[in-house]
Amino acid sequence: MSTKKCTKIYLFFVFFHLLIVLSYEEQQLNSCNIFEGSWIYDESYPIYDSLKCPFINQGLNCIKNGRKDQFYLKYRWQPTDCNLPKFNGENLLKNFRGKNFMFVGDSLSSNQWQSLACMLHAAVPNSNYTFDSTKDRSVLSFPEFNFTVTFLKDGFLVDLVVEKVGRVLKLDTLSQTEQWKGVDVLIFNSYHWWIHTGRQQTWDYFQVGDKLYKEMDHMAAYKIALTTWAKWIDSNVNPAVTEVFFQGISAIHARGKDWDEPQVKDCSGQTKPIEGSTYPGERYPGEAVVKSVLSNMTKPVNLLDITLLTQLRKDGHPSRVASGALNDCSHWCVAGVPDTWNELLYTMLLQK
């Protein structure tokens, strides 16, 4: 048999073997819960250098703000039963050429938007971009790919209106929906503003229909509001055109006793994740609300279920690095944990 023929046979078997491996990995990924897993140390992380990313809010750029330890940058999310595909920002831009993504929600949505902006910018550093940012909206575009990713601030999703009586949170009305129309990938988020009390609370009354309520269980109000949002999605979104995601509840690390370290006050000084794949603290009441509302929808909405993976990351917050006085144990350093949210978003998009 000639050398040339042997080479062809060898290449055929190599190619055939590769197809089998890729098919197996794809089947494994499709049957895997990518939100169950643990954090493992990986020297190849982070995906990008935050000092070279121009889209990060001052308070979240922890390295620039002087954070000394950098272990928190070196952890990769490892699902229990499969491996995540490596994030490829250029591939995302090419596959979604001519498309637009929009993050709608509170500052945790902004946290994820900033992360994705950095990941894409790092993937195509020589590609021109345009960037426009106002108080409630940030828009990053890559003209080469005709691709846009937007953050729209809307922490309740439903309307908060100032009236004579005071600040009224209208649980059954939506006014920003025109901006959601025509978007190819929508990633919504709403939770943290709902758990505020006292001076942090940004409303005076709830309203349902014509009735005002001075007091209402916050999770009951949250469920009414999410149901209002869900009805709009069911009535207005065409799944063949628009893919909808809901960012799950992101963890707060304000009390060490929540992760079985009662001697620890909060997230300050934490440098490593919680080991393993279980969190000793309680579940968030909003988790059940989100899953209940999504399960009753007629249109498909993908839950980006980040709760467990963020609960395990007591080390990933800005803490006191940014201001020295304000202790931030709810938002996340960029680069850092939100990069994993986008790796998971990328994986879910690939599965589509």
Rounded CA separation 202/225 (Å): 16
Closest CA to 253 of 284, 288, 287: 284
**Active-site position among 109, 328, 330, 339:** 328
Residues in the chain: 352
Q: How many CA atoms lie within 13 A of 41 on its CB side?
A: 6
Residues 167 and 160: beta-carbon distance below 8 Å: yes
Known catalytic residue at 331 = yes
Closest C-alpha to 185, from 111, 257, 101 = 101
Annotated catalytic, 107?
yes
Cα–Cα distance between 158 and 222 in angstroms, integer?
10
Contacts 24+ apart (CB under 8 A), 319-326: 319/266, 319/267, 319/268, 319/269, 319/270, 320/268, 321/62, 321/65, 321/66, 321/67, 322/58, 322/59, 322/60, 322/62, 322/65, 323/59
Is 23 annotated as catalytic?
no
- Selecting among 38, 107, 110, 250, the annotated active-site residue is 107
How far is 12 from 350, CA to CA, in rounded Å? 27
Distance of CA 323 to the CA centre of its chain: 24
Q: Dihedrals φ, ψ of 137, to 5°? A: -155, 135
Provide the residue type at 83 as one letter.
N
Residues labelled catalytic = 107, 328, 331
